[in-house]
């Protein structure tokens, strides 16, 4: 027996606001808030953006977070998150959340994976336990999490891959996408159990974070490796199924940049104008500029957060390593043009000191700065698109993004 959902329109709506050639300015409306596009999605793998509190993410202006299905189904387990009221309540983030499908992680993290028609068998990278993910199960997990935007389960085609491999992989991804959509449209379970919870009084009323009648948005993922005809086939097959948005997957997996840019420029125009387009896992800002010029609307990447923890910081003058000797006595803020908490309060000398001392505060201050830099970059980019000056924006930022003081 299947759980009957009310036919309410909860899914996202995408509205293109203006265009500067292929470059798009838009808004994705979700029941949890508006996402201005082009948008950057900070990554909260384990239901937390590393080093940050959800309040701080809100203050930084993040409009949507990404979280990882693969990680959360292994730990703590999606059933636990379902029971305590869903991912939003669990991690105390009331804005939209996109969850990936776990496809990428199964293929990049899990040992001993075996692809079968029905799904993928793999061992957990945490404790070696055996798991089996199918398209239906992946949808069930994302439903338990309560993601606003779910992604279809896909095989992330590696690079290099023969055309035959890429073709077979694509066929599998298309079939899995069909099964994911079927599962989304006919969910087998109610979204959440009722239960009392002091932190979430709405649970008492069975209205769990507004999601008791959740109908998730679902994005298809275009695969096909570096073969344009396969990318075209994948896009066309997915478009026929009518997803709420479309992602480009299987990029930035080792292929040369030019090849990636070619695929993005070839594939993006094939996708429907009226749906958001998402380039998965890309976050190098030079790549972002290229992809936005092709009409991409959404990006996610661990680059700002991971680099922050390693002491690599983005500034209006270029990328720097905070451990550089020259910062030892430097009383100035990291980036005098930045108005983030870190730059408003601490000197380069202090940032270097807490980094060298491995203080947790170092990771916090660096992450705050890098995320602020990224979100501000996207905000300014949207302003430029609005003013029909994306080309000028790109030209002005290119030397900055290529400047690298990294070697300390």
Minimal distance, residue 122 CB to a copy of itself, in Å? 19
Q: How far apart are CA 71 and CA 203, in angstroms?
A: 25
Site string for a copy of itself, 56-95 (x = CB under 8 A): ---------------x---xx---x--xxx----xxx---
Does 16 contact a copy of itself by CB under 8 A? no
Minimal distance, residue 312 CB to a copy of itself, in Å? 17
Beta-bridge partners for 149: 98, 217
Does 97 contact a copy of itself by CB under 8 A? no
For residue 29, count CB atoms less than 10 angstroms from its CB and return exposed for 0-12, middle for 13-18, buried for 19 or more. middle
Residue number, 49 or 226, with CB nearest to a copy of itself: 49
Pairing of strands 114-115, 120-123: antiparallel
Tell me which of 20, 100, 244, 297 is the catalytic residue: 100
Pick one of 176, 246, 314, 350: the residue that binds a copy of itself (CB under 8 A): 350
Q: How far apart are CA 348 and CA 61, in angstroms?
A: 24
Contact 190, 146 (CB under 8 A): no
Does 359 contact a copy of itself by CB under 8 A? yes
Q: Is 332 a catalytic residue?
A: no
Residue number, 199 or 396, with CB nearest to a copy of itself: 199
With CB under 8 A as the rule, give the number of residues binding a copy of itself: 49
Phi-psi region of 348 (alpha: psi -120 to 50; beta: other; left: phi over 0): alpha
Does 270 contact a copy of itself by CB under 8 A? no
Q: How far apart are CA 176 and CA 135, in angstroms?
A: 6
Minimal distance, residue 161 CB to a copy of itself, in Å? 32
Q: How far apart are CA 377 and CA 366, in angstroms?
A: 16
Tell me which of 148, 244, 287, 300 is the catalytic residue: 300
Q: How many CB atoms lie within 10 A of CB 167?
A: 19
Does 43 contact a copy of itself by CB under 8 A? no
Site for a copy of itself in 210-269 (CB under 8 A): none
Minimal distance, residue 194 CB to a copy of itself, in Å? 12
Segment (H or E) for 14:
strand 13-20
Minimal distance, residue 36 CB to a copy of itself, in Å? 26
Region from 111-119, 242-250, 271-279, 346-354 binding a copy of itself, contact rule CB under 8 A: 346-354
**HEC profile of 87-101:** HHHHHCCCCCEEECC
Minimal distance, residue 230 CB to a copy of itself, in Å? 37
Pick one of 16, 34, 239, 361: the residue that binds a copy of itself (CB under 8 A): 361
Residue number, 35 or 52, with CB nearest to a copy of itself: 52
Site for a copy of itself in 161-200 (CB under 8 A): 195-200
Contacts of 258 (CB under 8 A, 6+ apart): none
Minimal distance, residue 146 CB to a copy of itself, in Å? 14
Minimal distance, residue 372 CB to a copy of itself, in Å? 15
For the chain, count helices (H), then strands (E): 15, 17
Contacts of 154 (CB under 8 A, 6+ apart): 101, 103, 173, 176, 177, 221, 223, 249, 250
Q: What angle do CA 141, 147, 150 make, to 5 degrees?
A: 75
Does 51 contact a copy of itself by CB under 8 A? yes
Beta-bridge partners for 217: 149
Does 46 contact a copy of itself by CB under 8 A? yes
Q: How many CB atoms lie within 10 A of CB 399?
A: 9
Q: Is 242 a catalytic residue?
A: no
DSSP helix/strand/coil, 24? strand
Contact 112, 122 (CB under 8 A): yes
What is the residue whose two structure tokens read 């409009």? 63
Region from 110-118, 154-162, 353-361, 389-397 binding a copy of itself, contact rule CB under 8 A: 353-361
Active centre residues (catalytic): 100, 300
Q: Which residues form the interface with a copy of itself (CB under 8 A)?
A: 46-48, 50-54, 71, 75-76, 80, 83-85, 90-92, 195-200, 203, 328-333, 336, 341, 345-347, 349-350, 352-354, 356-357, 359-361, 363-365
């Amino acid at each position: 027996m299947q759980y009957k959902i009310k036919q309410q329109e909860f899914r996202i709506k995408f509205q293109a606001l203006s265009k500067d050639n292929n470059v798009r300015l838009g808004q994705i409306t979700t029941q949890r808030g508006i996402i201005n596009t082009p948008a950057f999605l900070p990554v909260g793998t384990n239901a937390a953006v590393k080093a940050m509190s959800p309040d701080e993410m809100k203050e930084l202006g993040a409009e949507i977070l990404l979280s990882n299905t693969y990680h959360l189904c292994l730990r703590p387990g999606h059933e636990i998150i379902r029971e305590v009221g869903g991912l939003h309540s669990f991690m105390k983030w009331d804005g939209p959340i996109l969850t990936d499908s776990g496809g990428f992680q199964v293929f990049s993290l899990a040992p001993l994976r075996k692809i079968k028609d029905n799904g993928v068998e793999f061992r957990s990278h945490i404790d070696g336990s055996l798991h089996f993910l199918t398209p239906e199960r992946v949808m069930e997990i994302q439903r338990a999490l309560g993601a606003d935007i779910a992604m279809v389960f896909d095989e992330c085609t590696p690079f290099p891959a023969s055309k035959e491999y890429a073709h077979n992989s694509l066929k599998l991804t298309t079939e899995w996408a069909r099964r994911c959509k079927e599962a989304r449209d006919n969910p087998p379970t109610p979204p959440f159990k009722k239960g009392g919870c002091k932190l979430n009084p709405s649970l008492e009323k069975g209205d769990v974070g507004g999601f008791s009648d959740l109908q998730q948005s679902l994005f298809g993922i275009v695969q096909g490796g570096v073969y344009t005809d396969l990318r075209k086939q994948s896009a066309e097959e997915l478009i026929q199924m009518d997803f709420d948005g479309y992602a480009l997957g299987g990029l930035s997996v080792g292929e040369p940049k030019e090849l990636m840019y070619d695929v993005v420029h070839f594939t993006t125009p094939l996708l429907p104008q009226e749906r958001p387009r998402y380039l998965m896992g890309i976050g190098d800002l030079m790549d972002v500029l290229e992809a936005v010029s092709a009409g991409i609307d959404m990006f996610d990447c661990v680059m700002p957060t991971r680099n922050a923890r390693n002491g690599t910081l983005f500034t209006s003058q270029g990328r720097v390593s905070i451990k550089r000797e020259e910062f030892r006595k430097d009383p100035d803020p990291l980036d005098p043009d930045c108005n983030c908490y870190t730059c408003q309060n601490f000197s380069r000398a202090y940032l270097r000191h807490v980094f060298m001392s491995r203080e947790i505060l170092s990771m916090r201050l660096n992450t705050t700065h890098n995320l602020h830099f990224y979100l501000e970059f996207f905000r300014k980019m949207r302003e430029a698109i609005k003013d029909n000056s994306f080309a000028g924006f790109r030209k002005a930022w290119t030397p900055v993004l290529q400047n690298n003081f990294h070697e300390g």
